[in-house]
Structure 1
Amino acid sequence: MRGPRTATGRIDRTRSSDLMELAVDRGPVPWQVGAVLRTVRELDADGLARALADRVAAVPRLRRRLVRTPPLCGRPVWVDDAGFAVGRHVRAVRCPAPGDDDALYDLAVGVVGTRLPSDRSPWAAVVVSGPAGGGGAVVLVMHHVLADGIGGLAALGALVDGAPRGADAGFPRRPPSTRELFLDALHERLRSLAHLPRGLRRLRDGVAALRATRPPRAPRTSLNRPVGPRRALRVLHTDLATVRAAAHRHGGTVGDVVLTAVGGALGALTARRGETVGDLVVSVPVSARRSTDPGRLGNAVGTLPVAVPTAGTPQQRLAAVARRTAKGRAAPGAASAALLDPAFRLVAAAGVLPWLLDHQHLVSTVVTDLRGPAAPVALLGTGVSAMVPVVSTVGDVPVVVAALSYAGVLVLSVVADPDTCPELDRLVADLRAELDALAGPDGTNGPGDLGEPGVGSGHDHS
């Protein structure tokens, strides 16, 4: 059963999972994500704007704004922005401390932590001059309602050099009328009734996924404290092939190595604070799709809570993590979203979500792992030498980690509230030592073996 069309095409309506991303956006820092593209040469902001003016046609939502609908007309919809001008999304800045990587990354996390205007598509590109090591950088940021990690990478793939150009297709289209919205919402409700058995199966799968992956309750530690408005970002580069080989030796994945290293580093942090911790509970976003295209962004993500040990040898901890994540991955991808999405929205509507996020003890931290381009890409004819993910913290989780592979290099970003976690640099040093230890053939390599970026053989995270 196909839904009604407007006079100018199909209505681009948000998913229920998109609404959850809006519901979570209640803290002092907006629920936005981004990436730093390090380039071989500095880029010109005007040149980038001209290039993007042509390329954004391949990603419709980059020229659309999100609007709420009248009563009985369903979820919010994306409509073409008649006043779209790419120059409103692109600007140039200079690194506050040229030659200092930490200054570049703190600038980037500040860009991601600055709320985007609501009267246009929620994305921006900031061209940075003067970063460390010469070259340049571009900070890309978008609100999470626009896309999840898989969707964000699809959008990025449409903006780099060599990507197929999109057709204009009559932009801007007029927004759908109230009648068209009402009929479309009615059709969705009728379709939901027709697919009720499928919905019940999704609900059953969601319950099964939560039962199958339910970890012990997260311990009460200093890792769970309400966050403030500041963020700091530190970055590690490791050789992807080396990490994958270490994972395979112990029956795990690249993501398992990352989780194990994060558990060891946070265990060391809590030990220095005088706390005794066994397992930490890490929330791992799980996508319901392995890929998407620039025309289908949005969110399709559930969560996999993993009990990550902090004690034992690197081999023992990695083997335990591999067993636990394998059990979780056996559940349908993102099945838990069938329960979590409406629950989050209900709590948000009641006005108590900010309090719950600030006082939850379900997870100790969040770790994301994404597979980026396998081969180097270019922007305005300039090679992109590195891609660095930038995420944010929410509620009472002051430290989060994001991993992204690109051209044989695995990059780990650690984002923290520096007021709640002033030991950020020591934490990053411990994380590097953990990765080095896990990469050794017997799990006992000394520090420094993964200190420099390298080129691996591929991007299979299995």
Structure 2
Amino acid sequence: MTTGTGELGSTPSEMNPLETMMWRAEVDPRLRSPVIILDLLDTAPDWDRVVASHEWATRFVPRLRERVLEPWGDWGTPAWVPDPDFALPNHLGREKVTCAGGWRELLDLAASMALTPFDRERPPWEARIVTGLEGGRAAYILKVHHSVADGLGLVQILRMLHSGVREHTDHPDHPEPDRHGPSRWGLTVTQAARAVVGVPTRAAGVVSAGAGLLGRLVTRPLATVSDGSAFLGSALRAAVGPVVPRSPLLRGRSLERRFEALDVDLGALKAAGRAAGGSLNDAYLAALLGGMRRYHRRFGAIPEHLAMGMPVNTRDRDDPVGGNHWAGTRFAAPLGDADPVARIRHVREVVRRTTGERVVDGLGLIAPLLAVLPPPLLALIQGGATSANDLQASNVRGMTGPAYLAGAQIVRSYAFAPLPGGATMITLTSHGDTCCVAVTLDPAAITDPDAFVEDLRAGFDEVLALAPAR
């Protein structure tokens, strides 16, 4: 498999099955996969330094100068190839709000960017500096297609754009990446040839595996059958997940998106988790479920469980910058616990049981099969699965120390993840001593966003109350 150029940008040029699914499923606009990073800055950054840092980052991570090329007739795997016409102004811009813009205006601007599809003939990312906010503040909004990188991959890329000091520092020289790549026909021929050449190797592998299985059946028949049955059962549970009825309150779905955000003390949330015998993630999930419980109680009955999805990080230290390295899990999240301590312990056990399965990455198992389907059929299957989730949650470790963008300090950083047909996606990103909680919701499902945010805050407050006084 060929690779791109650049020390930190050396990634396989072909999309993996998971990235292929996210890219091709967008024939259904509900399944678009933009990730929006919203950084709140204490002042307007220096524009020339912003341009220089992005120019350098696109040289150091060639993926940012690559577009997606589909083989002829979609027979094969999409590949990342250099964009021969790459021009930074097509991806980086700035604007000033007409009057002293507040937080709501900024969130709405970011949400409007998420609703606009990418130009699929160019590298799928764009960034914008927004000035004119209240108090002389500014913002940096980065929009990236999920196929480029997952949450941790984006944090890695952002570290290249950010600095640990406010003063200007020179970037090391790095040559401009290659602008030449294969044509659509050339990619098709290459993949077809590789598939034909690989047939003997794959056949030998199947024969070898079959011989090994036959040998184990002869020497250890009961153990082999039992082991195979356990593996199959775990794989089915991971791939299919529990059958949880969709909440009647959250049934609506639309193409609209609304962004909300709130801040939580990182140390207090960790302490609350420990006080109840859990972790930061357990406390975070329990707070979300507490908010969901309150929102349901506000408008009607509280279901015993909620269909919930959560990605699990599978990234290794040696994995290159960017890319996607995660496993998707799905479980029945408990809403019946009124006591936050009981809820933390309950959700901890549910997550431990789910992530402790012999096979965790059920999506990874079936992704190679789904990725080769015609895009409309892929979107139908994928949308049917993800739209069943009433809540999706993610927890990403962000910046631990002070961070600056072209002379402006980043005081908050929120990661709004895509919402592929579900009711709401909530992401926690740590930033210094603060948890920045970014909420992407479908207003057709969450019909009273203000009430939902109020209930979400109350869910965090009841969990944070468990933390010992500091």
TM-score range, shorter chain: 0.7 to 0.9
CA distance in 2 between counterparts of 1:91 and 1:218 reads 44
**1:459 matched residue in structure 2:** none
> Helix, strand or coil: the match of 2:18?
helix
> What is the DSSP-based 3-state SS (H/G/I as helix, E as strand, rest coil) of the residue aligned with 1:367?
strand
Which of the residues 342, 361, 365 maps onto 1:339? 365
Structure with more of its chain in helix, by fraction: 2
Find the aligned partners of 1:354 and 1:345 in 2 and give their Cα distance: 12
Over 3 Å counting, the alpha-carbon distance change for 1:388 and 1:4 in structure 2 is: closer
Matches within 5 A, 1:399-418: 399-418=424-443
Q: What residue number does 2:449 align with?
A: 424
CA 1:77–1:188: 2 relative to 1, 3 Å: farther
- The answer to whether the aligner puts 1:365 opposite 2:387 as a matched pair is no
SS of the aligned residue for 1:272 comes to helix
**Cα deviation 1:53-97 (Å, max 9, x = unaligned):** 122211111000110124797411111111111111011123366
Shift of residue 408 of structure 1?
Answer: 1.6
Query: Counterparts of 1:153 and 1:5 in 2: how far apart (Å)?
Result: 22
The Cα offsets for residues 322-359 of structure 1, whole Å up to 9 and x where unpaired, read as 11112223236852233342454467646373487368
Q: Percent identity?
A: 23
Q: What is the one-letter code of the residue matched to 1:331?
A: E
Residue 436 of structure 1 corresponds to which residue in structure 2?
461
Deviation at 1:16, TM superposition (A): 0.9
Give the 3 Å change call, closer, same or farther, for CA 11–149 of structure 1 in structure 2.
closer
Aligned positions of 1:12-51 closer than 5 A: 12-25=13-26, 26-28=28-30, 30-45=32-47, 47-51=49-53
Paired residues of 1:307 and 1:321 also in contact (CA < 8 A): no
Structure number with larger C-alpha Rg: 2
Structure 2: unaligned runs, 5 residues or longer: 165-169, 214-226
1:237 equivalent to 2:239? Answer: no
Q: Is 1:381 aligned with 2:407? A: yes
Q: Please say if residues 56 and 174 of structure 2, whose CA atoms lie closer than 8 Å, have aligned partners that are also in contact.
A: no
Give CA-to-partner distance per residue, 1:279-328, whole Å, 9 cap, x none: 112100112215566x5432222222233222321111111001111222
CA contact (8 A) 1:33 1:142 kept: yes
- Which residue of structure 2 aligns with residue 136 of structure 1? 138
Q: Which position in structure 1 is the counterpart of 2:182?
A: 175
For 2:327, which of 302, 306, 320 is the aligned residue?
A: 302
> After superposition, what is the alpha-carbon deviation per residue over 1:376-395, rounded to whole angstroms, capped at 9, x for unaligned?
21111221111011123222
**How far apart in 1 are the matches of 2:318 and 2:73?**
31
2:112 counterpart of 1:110: yes
C-alpha distance in 1 between matches for 2:74 and 2:438: 43
Match of 1:423, as an amino acid? D
- On the 8 A contact 2:238/2:360 being kept in 1, the answer is no
Q: How does 1:146-225 map to 2 (within 5 A)?
A: 146-161=148-163, 165=172, 167-168=174-175, 170-175=177-182, 177-178=186-187, 180-185=190-195, 208=234, 210-211=236-237, 216-225=242-251
Moved more, 345-354 or 108-117: 345-354
Once the two structures are superposed, residues 111-135 of structure 1 have per-residue CA deviations (whole angstroms, 9 ceiling, x without a partner) of: 1221121111000001111223432
Question: How far apart, CA to CA, are the structure 1 residues paired with 2:198 and 2:50?
Answer: 40
Matched residues in 1 for 2:12 and 2:442: separation? 39
Q: Distance in 1 between matches of 2:287 and 2:11?
A: 46
Of 94, 106, 118, the residue aligned with 1:92 is 94
CA distance in structure 2 between the aligned counterparts of 1:345 and 1:56, rounded to whole angstroms: 28
TM-score calculated relative to the size of structure 1: 0.83
Alpha carbons 1:39, 1:384 under 8 Å: kept: yes
CA contact (8 A) 1:283 1:365 kept: yes
User: Secondary structure at 1:234's aligned position in 2?
Assistant: strand
C-alpha distance 223-298 of structure 1, shift in aligned 2 (>3 A): farther
> Structure 1 residues 268-277 or 189-198, which shifts more?
189-198
| Distance in 2 (alpha carbons) for counterparts of 1:376 and 1:141 | 22
Q: Distance in 1 between matches of 2:239 and 2:152?
A: 23
Contact 1:56–1:159 (CA<8 Å) still a contact in 2?
A: no
Counterpart Cα distance in 2 of 1:213 and 1:351: 18
Work out whether residues 218 and 364 of structure 1, in 8 Å CA contact, stay in contact via their aligned partners in 2: no
Distance 2:445 2:303 in 1: 18
Tell me if the contact between 1:27 and 1:354 (Cα under 8 Å) persists in the aligned partners. Answer: no
d(CA) in 2 for partners of 1:202, 1:383: 54
3-state SS, counterpart of residue 13 of structure 1 = coil
Structure 1's 215 and 62: CA in aligned 2 closer, same or farther, altered over 3 A? Answer: closer
Structure 1 stretch 82-91 or stretch 64-73: which is displaced more? Answer: 64-73
> Match for 2:178: what amino acid?
F
Amino acid at match of 2:174: A
Pick which of 153-162 and 242-251 moved more: 153-162
Three-state SS of the structure 2 residue aligned to 1:418 is coil
AA of the residue aligned to 1:153 = V
Aligned to 2:294: 268
Q: Which runs of 5+ in 1 are unaligned?
A: 450-462
**CA pair 96-256 structure 1, distance change in 2 beyond 3 A:** farther
Give the Cα separation in 2 of the matches to 1:375 and 1:192: 48
State the alpha-carbon separation in 2 of the partners of residues 203 and 101 from structure 1: 54
Deviation at 1:140, TM superposition (A): 0.3
Aligned Cα root-mean-square deviation (Å) = 3.6
Deviates more, 1:147-156 or 1:95-104: 95-104
Q: Structure 2 CA distance, aligned partners of 1:206 and 1:408?
A: 43
Indicate whether 1:320 and 2:346 are aligned: yes
- Residue 203 (structure 1) shift: 12
Q: What one-letter code is carried by the residue in structure 1 that aligns with 2:298?
A: R
Q: Is the 8 A contact 2:389 2:423 kept in 1?
A: no
Q: Deviations over 1:402-426 (max 9, x none)?
A: 1111112101112222344231111
Pick which of 215-224 and 298-307 moved more: 215-224
